[in-house]
Structure 1
């Protein structure tokens, strides 16, 4: 089932048919074999073409697919870093006057720079051309070549019905925009080497590679993918989406403002301006002064108002869902502190209070952490109990089921000192409740055989199914034993009831006769 699901998702992501490793043009060999001089027996073998072998290596193989995606992420990130380095090393004043520094006008009233901006509000030359040193140009050229070859290879190894879909995707379109103009500078390097290319759009391709990495890791380690890890991945992707939007705005406004006479911006100033603008603070100390940058910021503000609140809402909702699920008890905490697990299909306020009071009444258990594993959401009544300073630092609530390996791993049940199974109260069908308790006990026994179990049941007949437990408390057995002893010793049931309801733990009297 897991293999089938993996093939389906890989098909959706990479545009492949799950039942074909080669095209219809692959070689089909007809081999004639003669057996004992009789008529030839024909065997048909299906040999993979070069495309089929590449497809099997880059797509079907999980390890090489993940390694290839990590390579994409590193490649796109490096391209963005090289763009930032190029911007910091660039000095537009060295070539802003049609390729050379602006000269003073001598005895005339206007300098060459003032004359340039008197003809136009925008210096289009510095928007079209940049200064790119030879090592940076060679590095960006190599990165663009590798990136384009990788994109073309994915199109080549896709099946016939999906190649056009691969070409028409926005990711392939971004690859063309970022790589082809850079490779075009090879046509005439003395002039085209300094052509401006918006390679900062590769940040969106890096974000897409990050999504693929999370998908592939989820497929390869699906058995141990916990809710907290999935929520964390969603939060990382939302933050990456916001970071890409901010980075693109920073690079665009910084480059456009290069054409301004009064306020050209550095990368840090552009970062400050974009953050202040998107946060709606608007100090006004930096503002675009040419119509092109103003038009760009109007468009970006519209995009930001349409997307950033939705992204933040998704981030907050993901965080709230993670809090409802209870997160995960870390391996470090399980190593440093002793903990026990309480499993129940439903926990009432009275049941929770009774267990915590009785458990922590023993002095040796005061340092233990109690993990409550329940399939119900944490309601307001139980939240009040868990926020009590007496329990808040040593009681953890997790939404989940002991029938799922993922939830048992979240609780670190294999490192727990004990696991308690509480019968649900009130329970209209006690036989059904016992069956559920026994199933949960078997699941924990299968996942963590060395974990001690303390089980609460209703019927005596069901004790035989959990003989491996450390101790089994049966309600009917206790009730019948109490009634029998009450017949022998009248008033015993009243005494036991008073002792149970007035118990406050171990107390040492100060008077000698009461010790």
Structure 2
């Protein structure tokens, strides 16, 4: 009625104006006239804010009244309902409680009238009515626990924000204006939104348990003051901006909506959104109220004091007010506005002072590296976690991103729970194109999702090598592996482990699969393996460490030892597939072709073996020999200085590159490479064996051609190799030829002719390598003793029954009386509380089964007995192991074990990581090394006891017990000072290497690989193993190759057995286990004597390489040279350094020792099955002269030497004694006579006395034996 009586006229609507005037004139009544006369008292003059009303009449009170009536009317109804319900309960049902009490207090009635169980079920059924069902349905609809409820909640919030946006648009119009609902688009949209809000309000009201509290909620109050005015505006065709700004209070629920959508998950993010939403909603709501009252004016001032302010000016006013700045450019003029500002300053200032700092703190504490990785299409990424420090990251990046690698299109993601320091952050910025850092933990699945671990190519886990508790560090890394594998089982993981025994725990992870690329780099195992190989060939640890590390080439013009060393340091290990041009050729043939033609050194191949379970088993063969032929797709392991150089092996084509002399011109050609015929490939292999050219060879002529068809039928092309065909053809020749000698007898006769020693250079190369399962039957029977267990169950290591530690303990006197020489002394520092270093990993390579029993070097441990008792559980199954309780710093203990006669002294410490000062971590090892080097020895008696094979050229020691040119280790003949004792010292801190050698000029800041002790192989640091992480990632076979080289043959099967029992298990010798002995080993080749002596004086390394490969199937790969060998003048220095993979034309000197991969010799162990140390010494001495003679003159003269008469022996002995003074005079002028002079003088006097004493009878056949005794 009020709306009709007020009848306002909008601009531009004459029809509605006339209609409204007619209604007023026709329907005017006395009551309405009185009402109008009363309202005329509050009529204000015309204002431009109400353009539709010529009389200036406002209707704001109608809109406000609709909201107030709705709110208070509903509140009154709720209170009235509650009051009536309470009165009904109290007055009309007051007798319910006494009756219930009476029933409880009367047990007789309870017993007399038992309750029917059916009645109990009827009670809850009668209470569930249609109202309860509707209430439950409404609760499900608005609950965020269901999909429908979440969609509804999100939709309501989105529409509330939409309604607030419409308010922002309408705020630019007057506060009150006449609008036609059918023409105003924003009003129609707002009407639709509010209808939806009304329906949602009804659902909330039905689902509410407490109607009163629901009515007083903030969201309900917002609906009261925003929904009814919209319906009034439609009815009156009038719009009032009013309290629509209250929709901004809906922003308070923003965090809840984000939690429903699973966007906010952390407490900090939820708290941050809550604070921001409360602050913004309060700010916008207060600005809306100021906008309303300032643009309307005070009612009691007849709205005359209004001012025109936009909504955003009010927002600005509230902000400067909350911040207590108050510029004064905008301020409130109305009384209502100023009164509101008084109270808002109190609350707003408190909110601003508390919320804003907390918001800034949360934003500031937010992780700087807490984002999410965005993968780049076409680019792989890896995740690196674990021990992330400046040292570990710099070492990893330096090797991973080395320029010698091909283009590394891999992005490195570092994940660590601690933010990087400034130095590490600067390192990341220098590599920002390929490196990113994210703060988090791999134990948190959310952080794994952030770095996209499921799409990563691999995950690398770095270990803290300097951790005082290595077991705890390994446990942490194992937990990281478990977490990552639990999140994504298919991810490839490469992890570092500190202790070998902890590798067994990785096998317990179901998804751990080493066949799929998962690898564990055990630092203790590899460190001990590198040091053990140095015991067999000094300097090998340095060479291997340089091969598997990426080093840049440093050119030096001066002719110094650093020049040749650094040329070798630039070589690394690479893999590449071999060209089809090599298919059908034997490994030595391909190896020689690669070295001579391509300037590449091929040391191993990966070949597919028999098929198992629908997949091929890939095996790595290191210098396999003639019986292995190249197949298509064979992967080769090369030593080269650049990855681009290795591509030559893949691009090589015999048709296109056969005449090219410059290997740099070998590039990819476009010609098709046809496969050779069976006849052509057999002829080529045969010509290589016989040593003739293809044109001059007659191996494939005559009766051999008649067998070709038979061979093709018997051996398909896909499965037979050239060498097998050639061998079969030779077998046919044996059968067809007139002689009746069988191949087996021929082999036996050849062995008899050579005296049971290694084959001489004139032997066929194929005789140097036997198929393990094709050893003659008699030989297998000799190697197999079914009643004795000599090897472990895998056949990879020598084994003996477990021994009690008390039986291997030597006292100082017992050690002194035991003639020890050629042994390995291990000086170990440790106590009861020290962490175990894993001495088993040091002993296993020295007890590999590819050594014969008499070739095993005795091992003597010098250290704390309490510590060695803890290690003995893993050592009691290895032969030739002794313990001398004591300390490595005691010179008496060192002299007792004849350290001056040892082949190697190893210095280890288990206490290195217990000291915080890094410069003091290696103090024990450094002191022990300096102590040994300062010792002096009188070696006149030691030479007679341990070096009784006779005198060799100056500066060189005896040959190996097998009388071959290959020396397991060659050292100085006379050791009178500790500086000449071969020592290898383990270091933790690289900078401490400067203290090992007092005569070097290494700068403390020099990198480890550039220092003299490391180049000479006398120092080893665990930091050099960091490069294995990146090397293993780029090629998972690299780690297998390294472990095969340095561990003596450890396999995953053996690790499984050690995980079960933690000890080696003995096994009986079978053809299968004996076949595992047939593998090559690293040795050193001396050039001063033997069949290669002619190349030692000015010869070329390339000629030595080819001759050793063809004659003995020995693969040479480096030189161990005296430090001052490049000088023309003699030098007393006995230090040597490593030269890796010299070029073909590299000049040799007689004192060089050559690193080589030597084949296993089946014949070496036949003449002796078990050797004591003393018998080994005398036996070697008696065979010295004959062995050297047979090697130098391989014409069967050994038998003649043995058949010499007693008179001839007597003459030689007398001649030898007469020439001793002359030899003494000549040796004084040699380069190496400084250390031998005093010894030879004593020996000369002793021989003179012996001659005068035994002159009448010394001419007998046993003169040599009496002289030795």
TM, length-normalised to structure 2: 0.30
Pick closer, same or farther for the CA change 1:179–1:419 going to 2, 3 Å: same
Q: Quick check: 360-369 or 430-439, which moved more? A: 360-369
Give the match for residue 156 of structure 1: 206
Pick closer, same or farther for the CA change 1:361–1:149 going to 2, 3 Å: same
Pick closer, same or farther for the CA change 1:462–1:53 going to 2, 3 Å: same
Q: Quick check: 59-68 or 230-239, which moved more? A: 230-239
Pick closer, same or farther for the CA change 1:75–1:400 going to 2, 3 Å: same
Q: Given that residues 62 and 216 in structure 1 are in contact (C-alpha distance below 8 angstroms), is that contact kept between their aligned partners in structure 2?
A: no
Say if 2:247 is the partner of 1:202. yes
Q: Given that residues 167 and 241 in structure 2 are in contact (C-alpha distance below 8 angstroms), is that contact kept between their aligned partners in structure 1?
A: no
Which of residues 282, 286, 308 is equivalent to 1:249? 286
Say if 2:419 is the partner of 1:378. yes
Report the Cα distance in structure 2 between the residues aligned to 1:449 and 1:302, rounded to whole angstroms. 58
1:54 Cα shift?
A: 2.8
Question: Residue 395 of structure 2: SS of its match in structure 1?
Answer: helix
Say if 2:410 is the partner of 1:360. no
Give the match for residue 58 of structure 1: 142
Which of residues 356, 372, 381 is equivalent to 1:339? 381
Q: Given that residues 249 and 281 in structure 2 are in contact (C-alpha distance below 8 angstroms), is that contact kept between their aligned partners in structure 1?
A: yes
**Deviation string, structure 1 residues 345-378 (Cα, Å, up to 9, x no partner):** x434433333233322354476543222223x22
Q: Given that residues 347 and 425 in structure 1 are in contact (C-alpha distance below 8 angstroms), is that contact kept between their aligned partners in structure 2?
A: no
Pick closer, same or farther for the CA change 1:245–1:425 going to 2, 3 Å: farther
Pick closer, same or farther for the CA change 1:383–1:164 going to 2, 3 Å: farther
Report the Cα distance in structure 2 between the residues aligned to 1:194 and 1:494, rounded to whole angstroms. 90
**Deviation string, structure 1 residues 309-347 (Cα, Å, up to 9, x no partner):** 4333333333334325x323333x444653211121x43
Q: Given that residues 334 and 412 in structure 1 are in contact (C-alpha distance below 8 angstroms), is that contact kept between their aligned partners in structure 2?
A: no
Give the match for residue 167 of structure 2: 83
Which of residues 412, 423, 426 is equivalent to 1:387? 426
Say if 2:529 is the partner of 1:481. yes
Report the Cα distance in structure 1 between the residues aligned to 2:399 and 2:445, rounded to whole angstroms. 29
1:476 Cα shift?
A: 1.7
Q: How does 1:88-237 map to 2 (within 5 A)?
A: 88-90=172-174, 130-135=176-181, 140=190, 143-159=193-209, 162-180=210-228, 185=232, 189-190=235-236, 193=238, 197-205=242-250, 207-218=251-262, 235-237=272-274
Q: Given that residues 320 and 327 in structure 2 are in contact (C-alpha distance below 8 angstroms), is that contact kept between their aligned partners in structure 1?
A: yes
Q: How does 1:452-467 map to 2 (within 5 A)?
A: 452-464=492-504, 465=507, 466-467=512-513
Report the Cα distance in structure 1 between the residues aligned to 2:379 and 2:345, rounded to whole angstroms. 50
Question: Residue 131 of structure 1: SS of its match in structure 2?
Answer: strand
Q: How does 1:390-409 map to 2 (within 5 A)?
A: 390-392=430-432, 394-409=434-449
**Deviation string, structure 1 residues 262-316 (Cα, Å, up to 9, x no partner):** 7421234334444555566654433333333233334334333222343333333
Q: Given that residues 80 and 200 in structure 1 are in contact (C-alpha distance below 8 angstroms), is that contact kept between their aligned partners in structure 2?
A: yes
Report the Cα distance in structure 1 between the residues aligned to 2:400 and 2:207, rounded to whole angstroms. 62
Q: How does 1:23-34 map to 2 (within 5 A)?
A: none
Q: Given that residues 494 and 519 in structure 2 are in contact (C-alpha distance below 8 angstroms), is that contact kept between their aligned partners in structure 1?
A: yes
Which of residues 308, 314, 317 is equivalent to 1:264? 308
Give the match for residue 118 of structure 1: none
Which of residues 342, 348, 351 is equivalent to 2:392? 351
**Deviation string, structure 1 residues 375-417 (Cα, Å, up to 9, x no partner):** 3x225xx343113431455433333322332111111011212
Report the Cα distance in structure 2 between the residues aligned to 1:435 and 1:163, rounded to whole angstroms. 58
Bigger fraction of residues in helix = 1
Question: Residue 430 of structure 2: SS of its match in structure 1?
Answer: coil
Q: Given that residues 384 and 414 in structure 2 are in contact (C-alpha distance below 8 angstroms), is that contact kept between their aligned partners in structure 1?
A: yes
Pick closer, same or farther for the CA change 1:251–1:165 going to 2, 3 Å: closer
Q: Given that residues 369 and 394 in structure 1 are in contact (C-alpha distance below 8 angstroms), is that contact kept between their aligned partners in structure 2?
A: yes
Give the match for residue 477 of structure 2: 437
Q: Given that residues 445 and 451 in structure 1 are in contact (C-alpha distance below 8 angstroms), is that contact kept between their aligned partners in structure 2?
A: yes
Q: Given that residues 416 and 438 in structure 2 are in contact (C-alpha distance below 8 angstroms), is that contact kept between their aligned partners in structure 1?
A: yes
Report the Cα distance in structure 1 between the residues aligned to 2:212 and 2:407, rounded to whole angstroms. 65
Report the Cα distance in structure 2 between the residues aligned to 1:53 and 1:334, rounded to whole angstroms. 48
Pick closer, same or farther for the CA change 1:56–1:294 going to 2, 3 Å: closer
Q: How does 1:297-316 map to 2 (within 5 A)?
A: 297-316=341-360
Gaps of 5+ in 2: 1-116, 298-303, 558-562, 568-640, 642-1269
Report the Cα distance in structure 1 between the residues aligned to 2:287 and 2:118, rounded to whole angstroms. 70
Report the Cα distance in structure 1 between the residues aligned to 2:213 and 2:399, rounded to whole angstroms. 64
1:78 Cα shift?
A: 2.8
Pick closer, same or farther for the CA change 1:293–1:165 going to 2, 3 Å: closer
Give the match for residue 421 of structure 1: 461
Report the Cα distance in structure 1 between the residues aligned to 2:408 and 2:322, rounded to whole angstroms. 50
Q: Given that residues 291 and 311 in structure 2 are in contact (C-alpha distance below 8 angstroms), is that contact kept between their aligned partners in structure 1?
A: yes
Q: Given that residues 148 and 176 in structure 1 are in contact (C-alpha distance below 8 angstroms), is that contact kept between their aligned partners in structure 2?
A: no
* Larger RCO (CA under 8 A, 6+ residues apart): 1
1:76 Cα shift?
A: 1.5
Q: Given that residues 453 and 471 in structure 1 are in contact (C-alpha distance below 8 angstroms), is that contact kept between their aligned partners in structure 2?
A: yes
Q: Given that residues 500 and 525 in structure 2 are in contact (C-alpha distance below 8 angstroms), is that contact kept between their aligned partners in structure 1?
A: yes
Gaps of 5+ in 1: 1-39, 93-129
Say if 2:455 is the partner of 1:411. no
Report the Cα distance in structure 1 between the residues aligned to 2:329 and 2:496, rounded to whole angstroms. 69
Q: Given that residues 498 and 524 in structure 2 are in contact (C-alpha distance below 8 angstroms), is that contact kept between their aligned partners in structure 1?
A: yes
1:62 Cα shift?
A: 1.9
Q: Given that residues 401 and 408 in structure 2 are in contact (C-alpha distance below 8 angstroms), is that contact kept between their aligned partners in structure 1?
A: yes
Report the Cα distance in structure 2 between the residues aligned to 1:133 and 1:150, rounded to whole angstroms. 27
Say if 2:393 is the partner of 1:330. no
Pick closer, same or farther for the CA change 1:49–1:290 going to 2, 3 Å: closer
Report the Cα distance in structure 2 between the residues aligned to 1:226 and 1:149, rounded to whole angstroms. 31
1:68 Cα shift?
A: 1.0
Pick closer, same or farther for the CA change 1:351–1:76 going to 2, 3 Å: same
Pick closer, same or farther for the CA change 1:509–1:269 going to 2, 3 Å: same
Pick closer, same or farther for the CA change 1:400–1:370 going to 2, 3 Å: same
1:214 Cα shift?
A: 1.5
Report the Cα distance in structure 2 between the residues aligned to 1:350 and 1:339, rounded to whole angstroms. 22
Higher gyration radius (CA):
2
Pick closer, same or farther for the CA change 1:310–1:369 going to 2, 3 Å: farther
Q: Given that residues 348 and 425 in structure 1 are in contact (C-alpha distance below 8 angstroms), is that contact kept between their aligned partners in structure 2?
A: no
Q: Quick check: 52-61 or 504-513, which moved more? A: 504-513
Report the Cα distance in structure 1 between the residues aligned to 2:438 and 2:513, rounded to whole angstroms. 28
1:177 Cα shift?
A: 3.5
Question: Residue 329 of structure 1: SS of its match in structure 2?
Answer: coil
Q: How does 1:290-301 map to 2 (within 5 A)?
A: 290-301=334-345
RMSD after superposition: 3.9
Pick closer, same or farther for the CA change 1:141–1:483 going to 2, 3 Å: closer
1:500 Cα shift?
A: 9.9
Question: Residue 309 of structure 2: SS of its match in structure 1?
Answer: coil
Question: Residue 53 of structure 1: SS of its match in structure 2?
Answer: helix
Report the Cα distance in structure 2 between the residues aligned to 1:50 and 1:467, rounded to whole angstroms. 57
Report the Cα distance in structure 2 between the residues aligned to 1:276 and 1:336, rounded to whole angstroms. 52
Question: Residue 367 of structure 2: SS of its match in structure 1?
Answer: helix
Q: Given that residues 497 and 523 in structure 2 are in contact (C-alpha distance below 8 angstroms), is that contact kept between their aligned partners in structure 1?
A: yes
Report the Cα distance in structure 2 between the residues aligned to 1:427 and 1:177, rounded to whole angstroms. 67
Pick closer, same or farther for the CA change 1:73–1:508 going to 2, 3 Å: same
Report the Cα distance in structure 2 between the residues aligned to 1:163 and 1:361, rounded to whole angstroms. 72
Pick closer, same or farther for the CA change 1:395–1:320 going to 2, 3 Å: farther
TM, length-normalised to structure 1: 0.69
1:89 Cα shift?
A: 2.9
Aligned length: 418
Pick closer, same or farther for the CA change 1:60–1:252 going to 2, 3 Å: closer
